[in-house]
């Protein structure tokens, strides 16, 4: 008589789990062994892309253009904010003299203008981010090519971006930022 399904599952499940665990451990051990062998031949370096962008002339030009845009945008926002502040002060001064219906209408206008100001701010931020991405695209493309060239010349198998990676420690001799900055101008 064949065993019932309930007995079959009770005896074979621990065996399957044990086999799966052994397989996982074997794969893990093989991966570790492969990694330790390949790690001996790897040379990992790092670069500070933000520092490079602040240092190279093309990066400085992009920063100057963006700062000009920010100042123009800020002037507009400041002007609108001053007008909004004056509107609020006038509303507060005259609130006691106004009928409730007029007060509600003025308060509604104030809220509407505040929402418009917030909307303008968000639009300006979005436009600035798009402009920054557009201006940086060719600079970053060239910078990436320079990083690749320096990495190959110096025998690195991998380069990390220090601001994007969570690097807790790195030997300063592995940093190629200054070399990349010098090479970018060529």
Return the SS3 of 47. strand
d(CA 110, CA 115): 9
| Domain spans in the chain, listed from the N-terminal domain onward | 1-40, 42-184
Q: Is 170 exposed, middle or buried (0-12, 13-18, 19+ CB in 10 A)?
A: middle
Cα 172 to Cα 126: distance, rounded to the nearest angstrom: 37
Contact 160, 45 (CB under 8 A): yes
Long-range contacts of 67-75 (CB under 8 A, 24+ apart): 69/128, 69/131, 70/128, 73/124, 73/128
Rounded Cα–Cα distance for residues 119 and 175 (Å): 43
156 burial type by CB count under 10 A (0-12 exposed, 13-18 middle, 19+ buried): buried
pLDDT of the residue at 10: 47
Give me the DSSP letters along 80-96: HHHHHHHHHHHHHHHGG
What is the residue-level pLDDT of the chain in tens, covering all 186 positions? 444 444 444 455 555 656 666 666 667 666 666 655 555 578 899 999 999 999 999 999 999 999 999 999 999 999 999 999 999 999 888 888 888 898 899 899 999 999 999 999 999 999 999 999 999 999 999 999 999 999 999 999 989 888 877 776 778 888 888 899 889 887
6-16 pLDDT, tens digit each:
444 445 555 56
According to CATH, the topology of domain 42-184 is: Protein Binding, DinI Protein; Chain A (3.30.910)
């Amino acid at each position: 008589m064949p065993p019932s399904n309930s007995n079959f599952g009770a005896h074979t499940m621990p065996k399957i789990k044990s086999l799966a665990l052994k397989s996982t451990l074997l794969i893990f051990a093989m991966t570790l062994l492969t990694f330790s062998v390949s790690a001996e031949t790897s040379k990992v370096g790092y670069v500070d892309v933000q520092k490079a962008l602040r240092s190279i002339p093309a990066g400085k030009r992009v920063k100057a253009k963006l700062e000009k845009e920010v100042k123009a945008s800020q002037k507009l926002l400041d002007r609108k904010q001053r007008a909004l502040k004056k509107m609020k002060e006038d509303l507060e001064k005259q609130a006691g003299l106004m009928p409730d219906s007029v007060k509600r209408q003025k308060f509604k206008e104030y809220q509407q203008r505040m929402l418009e100001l917030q909307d303008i701010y968000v639009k300006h931020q979005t436009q600035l981010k798009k402009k920054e991405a557009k201006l940086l695209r060719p600079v970053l493309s060239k910078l990436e090519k320079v990083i690749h060239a320096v990495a190959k010349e110096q025998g690195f198998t991998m380069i990390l971006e220090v601001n994007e990676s969570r690097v807790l420690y790195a030997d300063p001799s592995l940093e190629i930022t200054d070399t990349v900055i010098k090479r970018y101008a060529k």
